[in-house]
Amino acid sequence: MGRDKENRGGSEILTTISTYDRIADDFRKHTLDEGDRDYQEALLRRTMDMLCPSPRILDLGCGDGRDTSFLNSLGADATGLDLSHSMIRLARKNYPDCTFVLGDMRRTPFHDDTFHCVWASASVIHIPKRELSMVEREIHRVLRPEGILSFSFKEGTGEGYQNDPYNEPRYYSYYTLHELEQRLSSFRSLSHETYPGEIMGNRFTHCWLRAL
């Protein structure tokens, strides 16, 4: 699967976030209906098994907050961060006992060495490849020494805009496992697995990395 690259300065993320602000309610319903929630929760449990008791976890690109809430139900001290006002609004409405922060994953408001783990499910996929190193440095900064990065990515090559299924533009970066391992040089690979089926027409892989 290939995607043509578009270079529009810093507009890709702004455009994507504007789309999420418009489609937030529909997106929540769509992903609840078509996402593989059982498998997602298995990945969350597997991540928790790698961590100390009561770990501090940053849900990076938390969307409507369902993963943040589930992590807390497993005993984590999880905080959700998202750049979409509408997504944060939904998260706070649906999970009022959880902590959600409006913010940019390239420049988070958290102190160094705050979290045992960063969980990033289908969120880093919206970062243009030229800005991935910014996100890597920020994740590494907020993680404690030898902390875990647990994240999913869309399989493929290239990057660019897609309008389906909402006819609204969102920007995606596609990776092979080898490309990501080369780019994320501040981490070493622990394990990975491919999702058992397509999620809304795309193949995903989930990875676990440890900070160097």
Q: What are the pLDDT digits (tens) for 145-163? A: 999 999 999 999 999 999 8
Q: What average pLDDT does this structure show over 85-112?
A: 98
Q: Is the pLDDT of residue 8 over 50?
A: no
Lowest-confidence segment of 11-25, 37-51, 52-66, 196-210 by average pLDDT? 196-210
Q: Is the pLDDT of residue 186 over 90?
A: yes
The pLDDT of residue 164: 79
Residue that has been written with the tokens 């622990």 in this structure: 190
Q: Is the pLDDT of residue 5 over 60?
A: no
**Distance set, CA 95 to CA 51, 99, 210, 212 (Å):** 23, 9, 29, 34
Which contacts qualify for 4-9: CB closer than 8 Å, 24 or more apart? 4/158, 4/160, 5/129, 5/158, 5/159, 5/160, 6/159, 6/160, 6/161, 6/171
Q: Is the pLDDT of residue 34 over 60?
A: yes
Q: Residue 144: which pLDDT band, with cuts at 50, 70 and 90? A: very high
Q: Is the pLDDT of residue 201 over 80?
A: no
Tell how strand 56-60 and strand 77-82 pair up.
parallel
Tell me the pLDDT tens digit for each residue of 45-67.
999 999 999 999 999 999 999 99
Q: Is the pLDDT of residue 126 over 80?
A: yes
Per-residue three-class SS string for 53-90: CCCEEEEECCCCCHHHHHHHHCCCEEEEEECCHHHHHH
Q: State the pTM of this model.
A: 0.93
Phi, psi dihedrals of residue 33, rounded to the nearest 5° = -80, -40
Domains of the chain: 2-172+182-211 (3.40.50.150)
**Distance set, CA 165 to CA 17, 63, 152 (Å):** 16, 17, 20
Q: What average pLDDT does this structure show over 156-181?
A: 94
Percent of the chain clearing pLDDT 70 (strictly above): 95
The pLDDT of residue 6: 37
Q: Is the pLDDT of residue 35 over 80?
A: no
The pLDDT of residue 4: 37
